[in-house]
Every structure is written in structure tokens, then in C-alpha cells.
Structure 1
């Protein structure tokens, strides 16, 4: 949503003042308001209200032509008690500090891009120098004065038509994409990574200098990544330039006709599931008395639900709920479910299809997961030791810890085996259990793209999910004991 930003867990309203009104509004280049909420839905409502007040403020400034205080009209007419005046003074000081911090953040980002541009200029100068040297060498050897130019693949000048916004760069492209897509923090991180890779592949900073050859060079630089990742990165780059076309920063999308080579073999295979031997080694390394509950529960929950690492790490106690259903014999049952949602503070999902509910596997319940969840108060996170990093990722540090344990303690060194391998193994277990693909997708949060999936309730019916989860088993798995006094678990 335009003018709505998020800093940490809180939301703020931020809007630039038109240049013609800056002087009339006490010289302030932008208006920033704290929305005092961490709930995205509530933030959008408050943002719209502030937007109306700021529109009225701009209208008054245009009519008066004089100095207008940057304060909503309803606050100007409200009787001011000493306590209220003190509150408004402290609020304005806080918002001014927030505005300053945001400006500093913009300056740091601009400085970072300036460094990238300067590095690109230095690289071009070095290439020009090398061409001069090679020209001199060739002239001495073959008595020719022909200049050594750029390689044949760049024989066509790498300049785009001059139509579009002059001086616009990838920085403006990123801002345009954010305005039009209102992306999550995770999506922004991914787009920033795509832009970084594009710059490293030789893509110019200026938008009007970017051509299809640059996009092809960007795609060539992704050879070490899987086909799925290449496809995802190319789609993001196309979306970035599409936003630029919509904002008149580009005349056309230079990535629109670039496609993956269907005949080209990828050099990196997809993730593969853990073997039963791998699972036994991992399970034997877990301790239910670990000082950090996440170290114990995240692998087990993923193994028996197929949930992604981030989805588990952000769970709250009230995401574990009891649902009821009637089986084919007419008997009533109550089953605990895990809800994967983005409704709570600091919660996000990979896609809309990721919003789902998964029955707690009987083995997971035996190990005490539901009991552990009930020991945590409703709104509290199940794993408070997991801290969100500056990019909004709550499991980034755990991911490093698990990877180190997997390689050094469990001695599982195959690079294709990571935490995500639990999810692959769960999918295989569903297939082995004869679970239909649509129910399997409902459990794992995969989207088939079928229009039929948009019909019905938000969540898949309880009964088929429960029946499917009961078919999930890992033959030969030595499950951990349910408590410190239990004997070695039996195989399933």
C-alpha cells in the first residue's frame, strides 16, 4: 500500500511533500506518522485515515500560500490540556526522530548504489585501457591499426533507446516495484538479491542503458543454480522492469522476450529427501531438554508435517488449535491442528497457497508437541529464542546452526540435503501412503494453479487431512522417547 512502511515490527505512514508546498509546510520535505500498530490490516486502515488528513493539509497549503503547520486539522481544533500538549510534543519529537532515521536509511542506500556505480565506471575504464594495450600489441604484430573492440557477443551497442525517464536507475526501479506490488519483506530481500546478481553480471545502473543482452548475461550468470531458482530470478527481473514500464521509467521491458533454454541441463540438482539412515542420525542428535526448544522441535515438526523452517519458527501458541470431525462410521473426533498463517505479528508466508492447516501427526503428539504448545501463553511465540534479523527472517540464525550440525555432527555432507529435505521426505511419505495429489498439496501448501482451488472454504476439510496425515510413516525410523524415562522408541 502506498505511503505505508514497516520498520521492525511497527508500521508508519510516510509521504513526500510536493516541492511547491515544502516552504508552506515549514520546510518539511516529507510527512511521517507513527501508526502505533504492528497489525498489517489495522495499519492499512489507519494509513488511509492519515492519507485523507494529509490530502486536506496539502489542499489548505495550496489555498493559503502561507505557513501551515504539519498537523492534522482535527488536532488543531481540539482543546489542548497540558497533558495533551505534552503528549503531542513527545509524539512530534518521536516522529521527527523516525523521519531522520528514514532519511539516513535512504542516504545509506544511495551511497551504496553510488559505490556500485563507481565500481562499474572503474571496471569500464580498465576494460578500455586493456583494449588500448591490445590494439598496440596487434598493430606491432600484424602491422594493423585496427582497434580491438569489445567481444563479438557485445558487437551490438549495449544501449537502449533513449526513451524513458532520463537518469532513472535500478534504485528508482526498485522503488517503483515496491509501490506497485506492496511486497513482503522476504520478497524485497529476494528482489535486492536479484539486482545485486544483475549488477555483478555487468548490467548497467542506468535503466535506459539496459538491453536484452544484459538480461541474457544475467541469466548466464545463474548457471550454478537450479532451474527453479533461475526461473524465479528471471520472473522477478521481468516484474521489476514491468513496474518501470508502468511508471514510464522504461519504454519497453528488456527482459520480456528472454527465456530459459529448455535444452540446457542444469548443473545443480534439486534438493533430495533424507534417507532413513540420515533421519535416524538426525533424530539421535536431538535432545528434548535442550535449552533452546527450537533445536529439538523444528526438525521433528518439519519431518511429520512438511512445514517450511520459517513457517515453524514463527508459530505462536494460539496457532495450535483443536478441530472436530466425524469419520465414515459416524464417530466424532477431536484433533489438534497447526495453522500456518500470516495473521500474527512478524508472521509471513511464501504465497497465498501456503496458508493452511495441518493435523498434528500422532507421533508428534506422542513426543509432547501439543503439551509443549499448551505450556506457552496464547499470543506468545513457541520459540522465543529465535530472533528476527534486519531482513525480517526469523530463522536465519537457526538455519546456520542446523546446517553446521548436519555437516559436522551428523556427518551428512551431501549439499543437496538441507533442512528442506524434511519437506521432500514428507511429500514422498504422502505418495507412499497413497494420498491423492490434491490433499497432498493442501497439506504442503503447494498450488496446482487450478481454478477449482479457489472454490470452497479458506481451509481444506478436516477429515481428509487427518486421514492423510495418519498414512505418513518412515519405515525403520527410530523415534525418540516421549520423555527422559521412556525406552528407545519403536519403528513405524
Structure 2
């Protein structure tokens, strides 16, 4: 079983130069004045805030980020037939939490882009549906950041048995710890035994319920501060 992240670890990650300002795209682990909102920036946030698998994220295109016409809720649509999942139970709609919306994920990654463009430019080869490339980039960042700290903190980002995918475990444990029912938490993560179907009161209410429940997670991320950091202009 993968080692999970904890509040201190995530607090360190999301207050590190990758999110609060780095020197350059090639020195992301060193403090600077701006950020590059690329896949390395977005993917850890998306996994932490939604519980999506890397294999799911790798297949996302702009058209999979949608706004429900009735509720107005933005969500990621994993029912699309072009997304290859291991089990039918993984087909689901995952509401975008307010944290991601406040970071302008819709305006930066969705509006004005081609529908079939990759949602995240992972720099991956077509056969890399497991997210190995972005996972390795994240691992290198954590290791470089720890080395740059020179043991100024007792919390380390890089641990051999813990990586990007392990952020899913934190998300699940956070939901359950905040009182989210097991069935609902497993629905959000795509771990339920049955596909996400139509609840007795209709699918629209289900999306509203999932949105309500996903907002219960309290993450150690200073969203207003992250949103205020200027984008690096290349």
C-alpha cells in the first residue's frame, strides 16, 4: 500500500516555489517571483482536490471539462467513450471544487482552446496513459526541493514509497475524516462497485450532492495567495 501524504507534507508542497514563485521553469525548486502554470503545477492540485487517477488525467481533453446546463456546476466528464478505463465503475462525473475554480482553471485551460486539445500538456508519449512522465517530473521536483532546503525543515517531500498517485489516498482520507459517507467518497474516486448511475431524485441532484460533499475537504492550500502569484511570461 502506498504511503499517504499528511497535512504537514501538503502544506510544505503547496507553499514551495512550484506554487509560490520559482526562479525559472528549469529551477522550479528555487524561490523566485513567478510561476509556470503547466502540467507540473496543475496535476498535483487536481489529484489532491478531486482524487482523479493519473491514468484518467492523462486522457483528459478540453472537451471533458464541462459545465452542467441546469446546475451550473463545472465537472470533469469521465463518461466519454474515448476515455479508456479499467472498469465501468470508474465512469463518473467529478465536480470541480471551488479551490480549482478560484485558481482560474476554467479560464486558463478551457476557454478559447480546441476541444480535442489535451487538457494538460504532460509531455508524454501517446502510449503513456499511466502518467509515468509527469510522475517522474514530480518526483524529481520533490527531491530537488528537499536538497535545496538543506535540512531546514523536518518535513520532506520526497519519500521512496510515496509519489503523485499517493495524493489520492490523502483526498479519500480527508473526505472520510470530514464525515463524507464511504459510498460518496468512493463514487468521487471511482472506487465504487457499481457505475455512477441515476439516483432516485435524478442525475442532476447527484451532481449537486457530489459537489457539496467534495467541498467538505479542507486542504492546507492558501488559494488566494496562489491565485495572486504572477504567471511567468516566456
User: Would you call these one fold, judging by a TM-score over 0.5?
Assistant: yes
Q: Equivalences for 1:366-445 in 2 at 5 Å? A: 366-372=102-108, 373-388=110-125, 391-393=127-129, 395-410=131-146, 411-445=156-190
State the structure with more CA Rg: 1
2:46 is matched with which residue?
301
User: How much has 1:412 moved relative to structure 2?
Assistant: 2.5
**Cα 1:337–1:431, aligned 2, differ >3 Å: closer, same or farther?**
same
Seen in structure 2, the aligned counterparts of structure 1 residues 440 and 454 have a Cα distance that, compared at 3 Å, is closer
CA root-mean-square deviation: 2.7
Looking at structure 2, the residues matched to 321 and 454 of structure 1 have their Cα atoms a distance apart, in angstroms, of: 17
- Is the Cα–Cα contact under 8 Å of residues 387 and 394 in structure 1 kept in the other structure? no
Which of residues 449, 456, 466 in structure 1 aligns to 2:198? 456
> Which structure: greater helix fraction?
1
Show the counterpart of 2:77. Answer: 339
| Distance in 1 separating the partners of 2:203 and 2:86 | 17
The question of whether the paired residues in 2 share the 8 Å contact of 1:358 and 1:443 is answered with: yes
What pairs up with 1:254-273 in 2 under 5 angstroms?
270-273=1-4
Q: Distance in 1 between matches of 2:125 and 2:86?
A: 16
Q: Tell me if the contact between 1:357 and 1:459 (Cα under 8 Å) persists in the aligned partners.
A: no
| Deviations 1:291-318, CA, capped at 9 Å, x for gaps | x710110001111001111212221111
CA drift of 1:483 comes to: 3.4
Question: Shift in Å at residue 360 of structure 1?
Answer: 0.6
SS at match of 2:8: helix
Q: How many Å apart are 1:383 and its aligned residue? A: 2.1
Structure 1 runs, 4 residues or longer, greater than 3 Å off? 453-460, 476-480
1:281 aligns with 2:17: no
Instruction: Kindly indicate whether the alpha-carbon contact (under 8 Å) linking 2:58 and 2:122 is maintained by their aligned counterparts in 1.
Output: no
1:470 is matched with 215
Q: Secondary structure at the match of 1:467?
A: helix
Distance 1:392 1:422 in 2: 20
What is the CA-CA distance between 1:439 and the residue it aligns to?
A: 1.3
SS in 2 for 1:286: helix
Instruction: State the TM-score, normalized to the length of structure 2.
Output: 0.75
- Alpha-carbon separation, structure 2, partners of 1:271 and 1:434: 23
Alignment of 1:64-463 (within 5 A): 270-283=1-14, 284-287=16-19, 289-290=35-36, 293-324=38-69, 333-341=71-79, 343-344=81-82, 347-372=83-108, 373-388=110-125, 391-393=127-129, 395-410=131-146, 411-448=156-193, 456=198, 461-463=206-208
2:183 match: secondary structure: helix
Structure 1 unmatched runs, 5+: 1-269, 326-332, 487-492
